[in-house]
Amino acid sequence: MLNILLVEDNSALRIIELRYLKETLGQVSVQAAGTAADAVKIARSNHLDVVVLDCGLPDAEGTEVATLIQPHCPDAFFIITSAHPPNLERLRQISPNIQVLPKPFEPDDLVSLVKGTFCAAHPPPSSPITSAGNNSSSIIATVQHELLNLLGLAMADICAMETDLLAELENPNEIRTILAQDIPALKHTIKLTAERLKACLSSIK
């Protein structure tokens, strides 16, 4: 089961995101906190796979909270949400497993990022095919997983690119540099996943 901590001080947003994550992801455990203190308390006593963390909490700044949570959950993936996204490279000094999701965002964006970041690091174990029925089910499950990887990883790359661009709006030269670096990386992500999908589909024949 996927264990998620949702940290958002806006109670209305917290309720919406909490409900959407539970309804969309299915078999997950989602705990919610509205303050940094509550978030750290939950992290100390629970195994967490994903932490969705608002950057503007009333009692602490988001990057500070990530620093406090990370030692208790060293393998957790962090998704930082903010209307003024911090520098991604600075965040990754806290943990390499950090993505930024700029506000405002659609609930589907959050779900895709959660699926992509976690599923990419935890692929389902392969199993031998014992019958035609199992063959079909296994192929469908594998293709679904790869598609989720593609969507999630692409979303993560796009969000990171958007964060960098927002930070450099006044500097067109830097924007060109970011585009030159990030667009090939995004293409590479899509190409790799497409190749894996092709390999999965070829097993049908």
Instruction: Output the 3-class SS for the chain.
Output: CEEEEEECCCHHHHHHHHHHHHHHHCCEEEEEECCHHHHHHHHHHCCCCEEEEECECCCCEHHHHHHHHCCCCCCCEEEEEECCCCCHHHHCCCCCCEEEEECCCCHHHHHHHHHHHHHHHCCCCCCCCCCHHHHHHHHHHHHHHHHHHHHHHHHHHHHHHHHHHHHCCCCHHHHHHHHHHHHHHHHHHHHHHHHHHHHHHHCCC
Structure tokens at 57: 């909490």
d(CA 186, CA 50): 23
Confidence at residue 107, expressed as pLDDT on a 0 to 100 scale: 84
- Domains of the chain in sequence order: 2-202 (3.40.50.2300)
Orientation of helix 132-167 relative to helix 172-202, angle to 10°: 180
Each residue's pLDDT tens digit in the chain (205 positions)?
A: 889 999 999 998 899 899 888 888 888 899 999 999 999 999 999 999 999 999 889 999 888 898 999 999 988 989 988 887 666 667 777 777 888 888 888 888 888 888 876 665 555 554 444 444 455 555 555 555 555 555 565 666 666 666 666 665 666 676 666 666 666 666 666 666 666 666 655 655 5
